[in-house]
Chains A and B, each alone.
Chain A
């Protein structure tokens, strides 16, 4: 399977715990994105990397959230001191990073986080 992969697929944690999610993009894609989706809403942008550089961060990304892409391949998203409001589906996407408009994003299966 050469699509975007995410791990774990489901995570249940207690409030106050830290969690970390991993995303492996499509191998030739140099752009990687994180989104969050709650029930009844479309995905909301969190952050984006071009290779290893984090180029954009949403105001939604509080200081409890941190994302890395150390070697420009896989990425991790960490949430510290989780709150019940963090419960959501966390989606990762990647795109080729071509110049111009042709940069459709392809999504992974998501990590569903439940904070008790």
Chain B
């Protein structure tokens, strides 16, 4: 059974700090790993990662995948209060398009 473990489960930082969110996984025949941001509504797509060692970047957010060690990290630099949200990590295995999600990391950015 596919499994995703995210850490930490919650995190409080001050504006301007840099944070690293962790995602480890177990999956049969890895297809892709996805990161989503969830505020008080549905998850919004951030990144899809399929290859090890290739950083995906969007503004202050970046993510990288290590398929050998079975984990991914999501970095947010110069955090802002608008980054406060739950960040979800999900994986997809070959032969299936369903996503298996972790419980998420709740990030709180305080002024």
Find out whether the CB atom of B97 lies under 8 angstroms from the CB atom of A42: no
Task: Give the residues in chain A near B45, CB-CB below 8 Å.
Answer: 104-107
Give the interface size bracket for A toward B. Answer: 20 to 34
Nearest-CB residue, chain B, relative to A42: B101
Find out whether the CB atom of B100 lies under 8 angstroms from the CB atom of A107: no
Task: Give the residues in chain A near B99, CB-CB below 8 Å.
Answer: 33, 35, 43, 45, 105
A42-B102, A107-B42 as given contacts; A56 in contact with B96, CB under 8 Å:
yes
Find out whether the CB atom of B48 lies under 8 angstroms from the CB atom of A91: no
Find out whether the CB atom of A40 lies under 8 angstroms from the CB atom of B97: no
A102 to B44: give the CA distance in the assembly, Å.
16
CB neighbors of B among A89-107 (8 A): 91, 95, 101-107
Residues of A contacting B: mostly: loop
Nearest-CB residue, chain B, relative to A4: B42
Indicate if A25 sits at the interface (CB-CB under 8 A): no
Q: Which residues of A contact B (CB under 8 A)?
A: 4, 31, 33, 35, 40-45, 48, 56, 58, 91, 95, 101-110
- Contacts A42-B88, A43-B43 given; 4 further ones with Cβ under 8 A? A4-B42, A43-B101, A95-B97, A106-B45
A-B contact pairs, 11 of them (CB 8 A): A33-B98, A43-B88, A48-B97, A48-B98, A56-B98, A103-B97, A105-B34, A105-B45, A107-B42, A108-B42, A109-B41
